[in-house]
Amino acid sequence: MQILDGQLVSRATKDELKLKVAQLVTEGKKIPHLAAVLVGSNGASETYVGAKVKACGEIGFKSTLIRLEEDISENKLLSVIDDLNLDQDIDGILVQLPLPKHISDEKVINTILPSKDVDGFHPANVGKMVQGLDTFIPATPYGIMLMLEHYKIETKGKHAVVIGRSNIVGRPMSILLSQSAPYGNCTVTITHSHTKNLAEICRSADIIVAALGIPEFVKEDMVKEGAIIIDVGITRVPDASKKSGFALKGDVDFKAVSPKCSFITPVPGGVGPMTIAALMKNTFKACIDKL
């Protein structure tokens, strides 16, 4: 069993980008600039956005964090996005999800200029991704593909089971895994809360991507010997023994499952850091090739 070290691969990816930025500097070219928009103050969102801004600093990107009040009107938020769309210095725009209930995710996502949509959530970019055209790939699935590539894990012809069908992870992941090289070339089964015989389907998987958001959902008896396990879940569960007051739990029962598999991602330190690295690659792309 080998642990897939997201911290390590993320660092390597960021180091690569850092060199490329240094090159841009010597050539006197534009430096990538990410605008991150955070509405309200959800603890987890603060952490993630903070990590994104920090990564920009490490690589040498510019970043602007825009904090807005929880009760900002939808129209006001849309006008903030319009301003960022028009701002020639901003290459990438990221609006951290989830948004407060009175704001429509769909309207927000549709307002971001596709050429600045480094999350790859805009329907125009989703459409391109589905067709295998050049576009921004959503950061979590992209990060997972980068991780598999880094460890030279052969995916061709394998049966991949994706648990979860969200627009930000499960669905794009299932599409990328099914696509031809440089993507997965897998046979993909996408499963969700209405799937029958989930355990049985999982047992037939060579690769499991768990992205349903239920802590330790994937148990030992759902996993085939030698399977590759990608754990996307990251839930904060109360834990009095931790200084923060919570522990991070993945969607996989790591202790029980890890002895059975060939490769597994830990939580934390697996997919999470790769999500950040992939976002940085998208931000670089937004600056370099104006799609």
Please report, for residues 75, 136, 169, 250, the alpha-carbon distance to residue 114 in angstroms, rounded to integers and kept in the order given. Answer: 19, 9, 19, 32
Interface residue with ligand GUE, options 234, 261, 277, 286 (CB under 6 A): 234
Tell me the one-letter amino acid at 260. Answer: K
Do 113 and 136 contact (CB within 8 A), yes or no?
Answer: no
Asked if 96 interacts with ligand GUE (CB under 6 A), we say yes
Asked if 232 interacts with ligand GUE (CB under 6 A), we say no
Interface residue with ligand GUE, options 80, 84, 129, 276 (CB under 6 A): 276
Q: Is 119 a catalytic residue?
A: yes
Q: Give the tokens for residue 107.
A: 């309207």
Asked if 117 interacts with ligand GUE (CB under 6 A), we say no
Confirm whether residue 165 is marked as ligand binding.
yes
d(CA 225, CA 76): 53
Do 176 and 169 contact (CB within 8 A), yes or no?
Answer: no
Of the candidate spans 144-152, 208-216, 220-228, 267-275, the one that interacts with ligand GUE by CB under 6 A turns out to be 267-275
Confirm whether residue 234 is marked as ligand binding.
yes
14, 52, 116, 158: the catalytic one is 52
- The residue among 173, 145, 179, 146 whose CA lies nearest residue 161 is 173
Asked if 97 interacts with ligand GUE (CB under 6 A), we say yes
Helix and strand numbers (H, E) in the chain are 10, 11
Confirm whether residue 164 is marked as ligand binding.
yes
5, 91, 117, 119: the catalytic one is 119
Shortest distance, CB of residue 138 to ligand GUE, whole angstroms?
7
Of the candidate spans 79-87, 174-182, 205-213, 261-269, the one that interacts with ligand GUE by CB under 6 A turns out to be 261-269
CA–CA–CA angle 61, 236, 209 (5° rounding): 75
Q: How many residues bind ligand GUE (CB under 6 A)?
A: 18
Give the pairing of strands 246-249 and 235-238: antiparallel
Interface residues with ligand GUE (CB under 6 A) are: 47-48, 51, 94-97, 119, 139, 234, 248, 267-269, 272-273, 275-276
